[in-house]
Structures are given as structure tokens and as C-alpha cells.
Copies of this chain bind each other. A is one copy, B any other.
């Protein structure tokens, strides 16, 4: 199961600590100016920040929506990876068959399905730019690792091995021609999901939009104390801090959601999902991998807790 632990409030606020301190000092300065030096002209009608606020809403709404869509698409792609891994496991176990019985087929099935578990781990980790073979001990044999080393993109290499194994199975008569094509289709689905994740990883959110949003946020917050000082006096300070924090948090949120494979606690939980895949496929193989699983669980725990 994926973790549902919430992000601690302290973690959230930590992200905007610096900005909040600046805003606090700024709004206090404005209040002092207004009170002690009787600069009553510095007050501006609230309607003026409202114009900037409208543009800002427009930008933040646009930003939030697109960032959420990227995040949800990333999650959906990993959901598809779960589905296709299970489908692959099911097909390997129910399609591959040696008419003369024999242990060789069972070994083939085990090797294939374990490689699929390794594929899930290696995809998640290469998206996060960490060593793709961490956590795959016991799932890949030495030849497979050797083969994958020659590729820049390790998961592509593992799919190649899948395909080569299907070719072998066809030649030996373990699967028929339709089954090969159908299994290849499942590989194509895995390849598409992988490509989708890489697309999200490698496509920056239009930078200019980010800049504009940030810029209009600064303009808006700068104006805010002047708009509120007349009616609230000293009470303007907490108000400005509250509104500014809110807007800064929404911006930060978008920034995190839009890049879901950055090895941060707010990522798509790729390791947890890979473990679900391992558990389901292992149970399909009716073998107990509990020991190794636990070991892997420990080694991967840090990069994993799933929030936002």
C-alpha cells in the first residue's frame, strides 16, 4: 500500500521560512512609517492591489492546474505500470507452456518476472537520477546487469531483454505466435508509460510563466501593507503575513507538484509502487522473497515518505 502519511506542518512552513521573515520585516516597517512619521499619504486604495490580485489569481490558477495535471499524469503513468506489470506476470504464467513439461520453463518464468520487478525499481531510480540498480539485488543475474550497462537508459535495456526472451520462447515453442504478439503489446505499454515519465521529467514547465507568477506575487505583496494600513493600523502586520504566506505556499506547492521525480519527499512514490509490484509478482510466483524484501525496504526508506 502506498503511504498516506501527511506532510508535517513544520516541513511545509520550512519551505517559505525566508520569504515569511522578509515579509514580516517589510510589513512592520510600513506600520512604523505610518504611525511614527504620520505618512498618511502612503495609504493606497484597496482597489489598486485588487487589479494586480486579479492578474495574480489568473496566473496562480493556471499554474496550479497545469502542475496538478503533471503530477496526476505522473501518478497515472505509475498506476499503468502496476497494471501492466501484473498483466505481464499473468500472461507469462498463463501463456508460456512447455508441452513436454520441464523445469526450464519455470526458470524462464521466474527470470522474466523478476526482471520485471527490477525494471520497476530501475525506472523509478533512473527518473530520480540515482543509481538504477539499487534494490534490485537478487532480481537480475550477472549477464543481465552486464547487458544493461552498455545502455545509457537501463530500463530500455531490460525491455530489450524481455523481448529477446520472448523470441527465445517462440523459437522453443513455449508460446505461440499470437501470444508473442500479445506479450509484445504489453511491453509496448510499459515502454509508453516509461516514455511518458521521461517526458514529464525532461520537460521544464514554461519558465517564463513561473517568472511572471513570481514577479506579480512580489508586486502584490509589496502593495498589500499600503492598502491595509489605513483600516487595520498595526493589525495590518498579521494580516499581510497570513495572506502572503498563503500565496507563497500555493506557489511553492505548484513548484513541487510540477516536477514529480526529483527525489524529494513530495515525489510520486515510485519506490513504494515498485514494492507493491514486487509483492504482487512474488506472490504470483508463489515464492517467499520476504528476507530480501525487508532488506530492500530498509535501504530505500529514506528517499520515500510520501506527502503533499
Contacts and interface: CB of A to CB of B under 8 A. Distances in A.
A86 B12 CA distance: 40
Contacts of A87: 187-188, 191-192
Contacts of A186: 188
A93 interface: yes
Contact of A178 (B71, B178, B194): B178
B68 A68 contact: no
A95 B167 CA distance: 7
A33 interface: no
Interface string A55-77: 10111111011101001000110
A300 interface: no
A245 B49 CA distance: 16
Nearest to A168: B94
Contacts of A6: 204, 207
Q: How many copies does the complex hold?
A: 5
A136 to B, nearest CB: 20
Interface in A109-156: 150-153, 156
A50 B47 contact: yes
A211 interface: yes
A contacts with B: majority SS: helix
A202 B51 CA distance: 37
B50 A50 contact: yes
A235 to B, nearest CB: 9
A77 to B, nearest CB: 10
A61 B100 CA distance: 63
A164 interface: yes
A6 B49 CA distance: 30
A206 interface: yes
A283 to B, nearest CB: 5
Contacts of A274: none
B55 A209 contact: no
Interface in A180-219: 180-182, 184-188, 191-192, 194-196, 198-199, 202-204, 206-209, 211-212, 215-216, 219
Given A94-B163, A199-B76, A246-B212, A207 B7 contact: yes
A19 interface: no
Contacts of A90: 159-160, 163, 184, 187, 191
10 contacts: A2-B202, A6-B207, A44-B231, A46-B47, A46-B48, A75-B203, A83-B188, A94-B164, A151-B280, A204-B306
Interface of A: 1-2, 4, 6-7, 9, 12, 44-55, 57-62, 64-66, 68, 71, 75-76, 79-80, 82-83, 86-87, 90-91, 93-95, 97, 150-153, 156-157, 159-160, 163-164, 166-167, 171, 176-182, 184-188, 191-192, 194-196, 198-199, 202-204, 206-209, 211-212, 215-216, 219, 228, 231-232, 242-243, 246-247, 249-250, 253, 257, 279-280, 283-284, 286, 306-308
